Structure 1
Amino acid sequence: MKLCTALLLALLLLSDFQSTVQAAEKDKRPNIILIMCDDMGWSDIGCYGGEVQTPNLDRMAKEGLRFTQFYNNAVCWTTRASLVTGLYPRYPRPHLNRNMVTIGEVLQQAGYQTALSGKWHLGRTESTHPVYRGFQDFYGLLDGCCNFFDPYYRDPKFKRGITGDGSRFFAENTTRITEFPENFYTTDAFTDHAIQEIKTYSETDKPFFLHLCYTAPHYPLHAKPKDIAKYKGRYAAGWETLRNERYQRQSKMGLVDPSWKLPARDPESADWEQDKYPRDWQERRMEVYAAMIDCMDQNIGRLMATLKETGVDDNTVVMFLSDNGPDASEPGGANPEQIPGLKEYYTTCGPSWAFPQNTPFRRFKTWMHEGGISTPLIVRWPGKIQADSLTRQPAHIIDVMPTCVELAETEYPTTFQAHKILPVDGKSIVPILRGETRKPHASLFWELRNNQAVRQGKWKLVADRTINRWELYDLEQDRTETKNLASEYPDRVAQMKADWLQWAEKTGVAQQKHQRGKQVP
């Protein structure tokens, strides 16, 4: 009897030991940090050919992997919805419903600590607020943009805001914040909060998922004087010269094929030599924009230093990307009396500077040409990803969710909190991170404001709402989209259009387009 009891006790102790070992092994799953900036062009950072000083992102690229063909959804809310759900946007809005599950929800259920610092822009109801959708801690902006020095500041000439009175909704968890210290700057504040989360989470035995969403360099153009000063006079040669400089650097870096033609100046962009606006005002717009990116990079440097200080650097995957191409809009019109950089003014870069920000591609935010949907993607994972590597394999924002699911060694659910969940549209890029060749998506699809596109292999079919027709491009030979081949391959155009229409029915896009009364022939 005593022997049986002793054996039973030994088996229980062994079982507890094995459970402890398994738990320890489980806790070795990597931490994941997903950094997204706002309205930044494909060529704006140094490691993608830009002149802006981004030593920390450049170091990330040197120590990790850069994608040359990573796609977003061309505008902030659709990209953010796809990023956190792994789904193409569904219509009608809202883009985050109960039949969708977020990365935060999946990873929290798998034992991860989860936090979001920065911009959300997917809602603030009980079904859409981040604290109800998988993020244990939230600090930041629930709206699309805000004053960088005072998010509650109401610009007298631009009163749009989700509150209805022109103010922006900034919060910590569900508590709204309306007062900010004198030295406040959103880029710094978002990073401060993220760093505190890393310090807190790294003291536990559980891995963490941190989503850091900067509003930089989205308008309004606000930056610190010391950062603006770095770029004084840098853009005196104008946007066309800047675009040529970036293109030459990209060619030398192997980011673009030198055989691709650099497209002509965008139709919305002015001729620098004939520009009627004061030159110093035009230059300052780009100087402030560059300073905003510079400050973001400084903060990413602080974040990366924290990973080393807390001892979690080697076991942390860090991803950096932008939500869409640069913004060419000018809310309220171009007004030289509005001084870029200062808290009191609500200024933008406008289409002429958006033109080189996207070098070498065509168009910008909201358009389905490469300039609207292409984003830099840098992934760093020490010891797991080959340093200073480059991949030309296409991937899409919908792939982020399944990538995080695989990294967390968990499963994408079919049901969540009694709701049946839509099957994920994306596929993991972990094989690419390991240096392998991943079977690509058979098709990738886009639609926004009657701009449409589908990519299949090297072929891309794209419709521009202003000319209302389909164009066909061979992206291997012509990723800058300068030679329309639609008339040479009518059968391919018809087949790809039919595939796009089938996707449009599935996602609700077709119904939305019917209500608009528009259809690309």
Structure 2
Amino acid sequence: MTRTPNVILILADDMGFADLGCTGSEIRTPNIDALARDGALLTAMYNCARCCPTRASLLTGLYPHNAGIGHMGADLGTPAYQGFLRNDAATIAEHLRAAGYRTCMSGKWHVGGDFIAREVDSWRVGDIDHPTPRQRGFDRFYGIVDGVTHFFSPHYMLEDDARVDTYPEDFYFTDAITDKAIGMIEESVAMEQPFFLYLAHTAPHWPLHAHPEDIARYDGVYDKGWDATRTARHETMNAMGLFQTNWQISPRDTDVQPWAAETNRDWEARKMATYAAMVGRMDQSIGTLIAALKRLGQFEDTLILFLSDNGGCAEFMAEDGWAKFFPDTTHDGRRIAMGNRPDVMPGDALTYQSYDKPWANVSNAPFRLFKHYVHEGGISTPLIAHWPRGFAQQAPVHAACHVVDLLPTILEVTGAGYLSELGGHAIQPCQGESLVPLLRGQAWEREQPIFFEHEGNAAIRLGQFKLVRLHGKDWELYDIEADRTELHDLIHGEQDRTRDLIRHYQDWADKTGVMDWNTALPRLLAAWEMDSAEG
């Protein structure tokens, strides 16, 4: 008898394309690499360039604006930018629960409105514009509802509907959410229900926090600097035959100085070592999860999907910038040294730093730009799919896909239907296309264009061509199959194609409710000021 498959969807946070062993990295990720080796590695999976939009799209099978999160969590006054999931969008959990699945989530939610971490006492978790996972189809939830947390001392966590008030001395978020996820799986197996688990990591998103023994694994590894590390990753990719062609690596970002000019080399190397430790710890946790599946007799019947929500993050953790939004003490009252201070080595609970643009440029090799942007460095992630009973291992797959395709893929695998109505609301038609034929080694090509927009950065990919622009800049056109590192702009020689792609993009943007960023930004700033005043 054929068993109904389980599904585990694992999402990394702010991890670049080149941060896995199977995509050329020196970071040790043997468990993820094994899933890629024995399953399928899709090299042209796209996300939505930022945390909230990708999570909204992934969960609903809709583009972020259609799901209600055209920007982030702030309400900018339109359905496309309300900052939390719309009622005419149904989550994977809602579809699968209706089909008899036990639905579980452990990790980061970040599709339930805006929060200011310093002001947790004013949070309205669970009200109409701050829905929790339990209100959007999940039977079980453990984790954070906002976008970031202290790995050793979270400022706000929930278990189901109750706030978590105490933490053990050895608490570390990556480990904790994995342990809770395994417990949820054990419950599902005991109940003899197929399960859907959404394991949404915060690793390796800042702050740079890791166990000392994990950091020690990378002592000296990054002393050679970002230039040499980035070059080595690209050479490894080419030697692996990772892509359909060995594209030229994009130049070092213009805002990044040569490693030879860096004066704080020990500190910079420690930042990247801590980041690598966070990725490595996430891989260890996935190994623990896989061991539990095998122990429970579920591994062969479980589809595991792994990807990242955006490219590597170039955000600088300034004490008077991002850092000012987060608590500067731990839950037991110890003072945290906030911000990227060269006199403070990152990693432990009393630091709060980011790895910054030079190392993000390494994470996104060989591509251009970073999280926030819709050039390839901001939107490219490997998708790893593993299902022993469902499909055989295969060579890397290069067809262009998007996170919007994951929901219809999961529904086809599970045999669940797509809800047309939920809670009295008609659900929008799914905008993704199932990847099941592709995962089974069959010929497949996405029928519709893929669209991107975030903060005025915009793109459309249709077939092998991609039209892309930075906010306020001119359009650029690239043949992505020949030049995925976006070095040779074809815009002047392809005027007819350019006009056609612009027409497609503008039609989508108009129908979707995309707001001009020059209009949206003042609304965002006003929303932040209002939130601060109310807090």
Whether TM exceeds 0.5 here: the answer is yes
Whether 1:139 aligns to 2:125 is: no
* Secondary structure, aligned partner of 2:306: strand
* Secondary structure, aligned partner of 2:141: strand
Task: Report how far residue 384 of structure 1 moved.
Answer: 2.3
Whether 1:149 aligns to 2:152 is: yes
Picking from 368, 374, 395, the partner of 2:374 is 368
Is this contact kept in 2: 1:113–1:207, CA < 8 A? yes
1:132-161 deviation digits (Å, cap 9, x = unpaired): 100000000111111100102xxxxxxxxx
1:56-71 mapped onto 2 (5 Å cutoff): 56-71=31-46
Picking from 221, 228, 232, the partner of 2:219 is 232
* Secondary structure, aligned partner of 2:249: coil
Gap regions ≥5 residues in structure 2: 66-79, 113-124, 320-339, 524-535
Gap regions ≥5 residues in structure 1: 1-23, 153-168
Task: Report how far residue 481 of structure 1 moved.
Answer: 0.4
Task: Report how far residue 95 of structure 1 moved.
Answer: 4.2
33-42 or 434-443, larger mean C-alpha shift: 434-443
Alignment partner, residue 108 of structure 2 = 119
1:306-325 mapped onto 2 (5 Å cutoff): 306-325=292-311
Alignment partner, residue 475 of structure 1 = 480
Alignment partner, residue 100 of structure 1 = 89
Is this contact kept in 1: 2:456–2:517, CA < 8 A? no
Alignment partner, residue 286 of structure 1 = 272
1:219-278 deviation digits (Å, cap 9, x = unpaired): 0000000000000000111111111101111111111355421111112222111123x1
1:336-389 deviation digits (Å, cap 9, x = unpaired): 134210111110000000001111111110110001000111111013222253
Instruction: Give the RMSD, CA atoms, in angstroms.
Output: 1.6
Alignment partner, residue 391 of structure 2 = 385
For 1:207 and 1:395, locate their aligned partners in 2 and report how far apart those are by CA, in whole Å: 27
For 2:476 and 2:451, locate their aligned partners in 1 and report how far apart those are by CA, in whole Å: 15
1:484-504 deviation digits (Å, cap 9, x = unpaired): 111111221111111111111
Is this contact kept in 2: 1:461–1:471, CA < 8 A? yes
Task: Report how far residue 417 of structure 1 moved.
Answer: 1.6
* Secondary structure, aligned partner of 2:274: helix
For 2:448 and 2:405, locate their aligned partners in 1 and report how far apart those are by CA, in whole Å: 14
Alignment partner, residue 432 of structure 2 = 426
Alignment partner, residue 250 of structure 1 = 237
Q: 1:213 to 1:486 in 2, by over 3 A?
A: same
Q: 1:504 to 1:338 in 2, by over 3 A?
A: farther
Which structure's CA Rg is the greater one?
Answer: 1
Is this contact kept in 2: 1:61–1:388, CA < 8 A? no
Picking from 395, 402, 407, the partner of 2:408 is 402
* Secondary structure, aligned partner of 1:461: strand
Task: Report how far residue 197 of structure 1 moved.
Answer: 1.1
Which stretches of structure 1, 4 residues or more, deviate above 2 A after TM superposition? 124-128, 256-259, 510-518
* Secondary structure, aligned partner of 2:491: coil
For 2:520 and 2:273, locate their aligned partners in 1 and report how far apart those are by CA, in whole Å: 42
Q: 2:300 corresponds to which letter in structure 1?
A: D
For 1:118 and 1:95, locate their aligned partners in 2 and report how far apart those are by CA, in whole Å: 17
Is this contact kept in 2: 1:35–1:212, CA < 8 A? yes
Whether 1:194 aligns to 2:181 is: yes
* Secondary structure, aligned partner of 2:42: strand
Q: 1:30 corresponds to which letter in structure 2?
A: P
Q: 2:491 corresponds to which letter in structure 1?
A: A
* Secondary structure, aligned partner of 2:475: strand
Is this contact kept in 1: 2:399–2:445, CA < 8 A? no
Whether 1:506 aligns to 2:511 is: yes
Is this contact kept in 1: 2:394–2:441, CA < 8 A? no
For 2:390 and 2:93, locate their aligned partners in 1 and report how far apart those are by CA, in whole Å: 24
Q: 1:135 to 1:517 in 2, by over 3 A?
A: closer
* Secondary structure, aligned partner of 1:389: coil
Scaled by the length of structure 1, the TM-score of the pair is 0.89
For 1:275 and 1:468, locate their aligned partners in 2 and report how far apart those are by CA, in whole Å: 31
Alignment partner, residue 14 of structure 1 = none
Alignment partner, residue 166 of structure 1 = none
Q: 1:439 to 1:477 in 2, by over 3 A?
A: closer
Picking from 210, 220, 223, the partner of 2:207 is 220
For 1:323 and 1:61, locate their aligned partners in 2 and report how far apart those are by CA, in whole Å: 18
Q: 2:290 corresponds to which letter in structure 1?
A: M
Picking from 229, 235, 254, the partner of 1:267 is 254
Aligned-pair identity in percent equals: 43
For 1:436 and 1:388, locate their aligned partners in 2 and report how far apart those are by CA, in whole Å: 11
Q: 1:229 to 1:511 in 2, by over 3 A?
A: closer
Alignment partner, residue 52 of structure 2 = 77
Task: Report how far residue 416 of structure 1 moved.
Answer: 1.1
Task: Report how far residue 510 of structure 1 moved.
Answer: 3.8
Alignment partner, residue 196 of structure 2 = 209
Task: Report how far residue 75 of structure 1 moved.
Answer: 0.2
1:107-155 deviation digits (Å, cap 9, x = unpaired): 0000000000000011143452100100000000111111100102xxx
Matched residue pairs, number?
A: 475
Is this contact kept in 2: 1:99–1:419, CA < 8 A? yes
For 1:508 and 1:416, locate their aligned partners in 2 and report how far apart those are by CA, in whole Å: 23
For 1:146 and 1:259, locate their aligned partners in 2 and report how far apart those are by CA, in whole Å: 38
Alignment partner, residue 12 of structure 1 = none
* Secondary structure, aligned partner of 2:104: strand
Whether 1:491 aligns to 2:480 is: no
* Secondary structure, aligned partner of 2:351: coil
Task: Report how far residue 516 of structure 1 moved.
Answer: 5.2
For 1:38 and 1:387, locate their aligned partners in 2 and report how far apart those are by CA, in whole Å: 26
Is this contact kept in 1: 2:215–2:274, CA < 8 A? yes
Task: Report how far residue 331 of structure 1 moved.
Answer: 2.6
For 2:311 and 2:368, locate their aligned partners in 1 and report how far apart those are by CA, in whole Å: 10
Alignment partner, residue 41 of structure 1 = 16
447-456 or 198-207, larger mean C-alpha shift: 198-207
Whether 1:350 aligns to 2:353 is: no
For 1:351 and 1:194, locate their aligned partners in 2 and report how far apart those are by CA, in whole Å: 33
For 2:437 and 2:406, locate their aligned partners in 1 and report how far apart those are by CA, in whole Å: 13
Alignment partner, residue 99 of structure 2 = 110
For 1:95 and 1:86, locate their aligned partners in 2 and report how far apart those are by CA, in whole Å: 15
Q: 1:331 corresponds to which letter in structure 2?
A: M
Q: 1:469 to 1:114 in 2, by over 3 A?
A: same
Q: 1:469 corresponds to which letter in structure 2?
A: D
* Secondary structure, aligned partner of 1:509: coil
Picking from 257, 276, 290, the partner of 1:304 is 290
* Secondary structure, aligned partner of 1:469: coil
Is this contact kept in 1: 2:307–2:383, CA < 8 A? yes
Task: Report how far residue 431 of structure 1 moved.
Answer: 0.9
For 1:310 and 1:193, locate their aligned partners in 2 and report how far apart those are by CA, in whole Å: 15
Is this contact kept in 2: 1:126–1:132, CA < 8 A? no
